Structure 1
Amino acid sequence: MKFEDIPTPAVYRLSFYLRQLEAFQRADRHTISSRQLGEALGYTDAQVRKDLAYFGQFGHPGIGYKVDELIGQLRKILGTDKVWNVLLVGAGNLGRALIAYRGFLRKGFRLAAIFDADNTKVGQPFGDLKVESMDNLAQLVSDLNIRLAIVSVPAEAAQNVADRLVAAGIRGILNFAPISVTVPPEVSVQGVDLAVQLEQLSFKMSLTGTESGESPANG
């Protein structure tokens, strides 16, 4: 099956399967059934089997899934069996929080460079890194073999930043800016808008009658 024929939600769920399997591994679980994996995540066993079947046959008759083996297979499928150099554009409040997050490297993503268009931030140290000028973007992308970027800039700057990243050779963008960006077909973008996620939660709470928010003040 071609990658483009695999439903996007199935690919998305692989990350949740991997995270749960890693939790089972830490708990010294060596085998797991599709039912047990599904119950831990709120999915049916049929959904788990269907999702995994898009990528191959991983189960063993009478045993289920071997936890260590399936973790290795999912990491290979997701591309996290290697370490990816990643850059970040935008050293503001959100950017600094992302820089401080230690979970990226555990998942195979090494923050290799930080950029900002604000000259007052250029040169500021963050651990072993310092904030670089956007003028150095193309050179460092090439020198450090970076293909993934995180964007945490204001909405009005996001498209220009995306254009410069693509021109420099970036092929995957995690976009925290509260606006969509347009990129060529060969470049992948994942948007993360925290306000949208909160809106989805408030919608669900409104449906269940559990809302307790205040009405906006008038005038």
Structure 2
Amino acid sequence: MSQHRHPGAPGSAGAVPALPDLPEATVARLPEYLRALHNLADTGHETVSSEGLATAAGVNSAKLRKDLSHLGSYGTRGVGYDVAVLIGQIESVLGLTQNRAVALVGVGNLGHALAGYDGFASRGFRIAALFDADPARVGEEINGLVVRHIDELPRVAAEESIAIGVIATPAAAAQQVADELVAVGVTSILNFAPCVLSVPEGVDVRKVDLAIELQILSFHEHRKASLTGLPATGGSALTALPGGLAATDSQEAIGT
């Protein structure tokens, strides 16, 4: 995956640069802040402290303040952050004010669920087209959209100004679909297929593999079960963890 960055435009103190040069870790946390802020707004909150927002987003407050400082947002002492203003700042930086058109390729069980999800529209995205190669799927209507054959991708991508492609096909078909998306000018891809895609420089790929996430959780369950069965020890004695790892009692206490 390649990242193309642009320097932030200069502006007045406290102004949000049009394209700030943000650390990747900060970019990854901004959607969590935005989700928490929308929840606060929906429940009638007009301001929020850094501690309150950090708790809602699941991060520590120092990290949150540093992240938001990249946006030129520092809050007001004794008041905190203006929820509506901060929502606008984050949405602007993430480019969510443009209602980006998304093409979803693959309308099997997962793709069908994604196509029927109403939450995309409220977060700045529009599922503009659905595609599949299976003749049995073509012509099916999902959430007001008719599934088109993948051969129609070039025409539809141009008509709908497709900005992002979502791949929900089997792994064997994913690379070909990625190639076709790139060929029509799509430079951002969200991949749900359990495989690694090869894409040209300048194309960004985000991978979502549910099986991998479950395997990581399985490790934590395995570790907790192993630790539960160990006898208590004092001091800083080492205890064995799965995979040949070791941790001190103090590390076990905080789950590291």
Same fold (TM over 0.5): yes
* Map 1:3-152 → 2, pairs under 5 A: 6-152=22-168
Shift of 1:55: 2.4
Shift of 1:210: 7.5
After superposition, the Cα gap between the structure-2 partners of 1:24 and 1:191, relative to the gap in structure 1 and judged at 3 Å, is same
Shift of 1:58: 4.0
Instruction: Give ranges in structure 2 of 5+ residues lacking alignment.
Output: 1-6, 9-18, 228-256
Distance 1:115 1:6 in 2: 34
Shift of 1:12: 0.8
Over 4 Å off, 4+ runs: 1-5
Residue aligning to 2:239: none
**Equivalent pairs, count:** 211
Residue aligning to 2:252: none
User: Is the CA contact 2:163–2:186 (under 8 Å) kept in the aligned structure 1?
Assistant: yes
Distance 2:207 2:20 in 1: 19
Shift of 1:118: 1.3
Shift of 1:31: 0.9
- Secondary structure in 2 aligned to 1:43? coil
Distance 1:105 1:18 in 2: 15
Distance 1:154 1:11 in 2: 29
After superposition, the Cα gap between the structure-2 partners of 1:136 and 1:166, relative to the gap in structure 1 and judged at 3 Å, is same
Shift of 1:188: 1.0
Distance 1:137 1:179 in 2: 22
- Indicate whether 1:188 and 2:204 are aligned: yes
- Secondary structure in 2 aligned to 1:113? strand
Distance 1:66 1:87 in 2: 34
Alignment-mate amino acid for residue 200 of structure 1 = I
User: Is the CA contact 1:25–1:68 (under 8 Å) kept in the aligned structure 2?
Assistant: yes
Alignment-mate amino acid for residue 198 of structure 1 = L
Distance 1:82 1:41 in 2: 24
After superposition, the Cα gap between the structure-2 partners of 1:138 and 1:67, relative to the gap in structure 1 and judged at 3 Å, is same
Please give the per-residue CA displacement for 1:73-106, whole angstroms capped at 9, x wherever unaligned.
1111111122111111001111111111111111
Please give the per-residue CA displacement for 1:187-216, whole angstroms capped at 9, x wherever unaligned.
1111000001111111112222289xxxxx
Distance 1:4 1:77 in 2: 7
Find the partner of 2:179 among 157, 163, 170: 163
Distance 2:187 2:116 in 1: 24
Shift of 1:60: 2.3
Alignment-mate amino acid for residue 18 of structure 1 = L
Larger radius of gyration: 2
Give the TM-score, by structure 1 length. 0.90
User: Is the CA contact 1:58–1:70 (under 8 Å) kept in the aligned structure 2?
Assistant: no
After superposition, the Cα gap between the structure-2 partners of 1:37 and 1:173, relative to the gap in structure 1 and judged at 3 Å, is same
Alignment-mate amino acid for residue 14 of structure 1 = L
Shift of 1:5: 5.6
- Secondary structure in 1 aligned to 2:101? strand
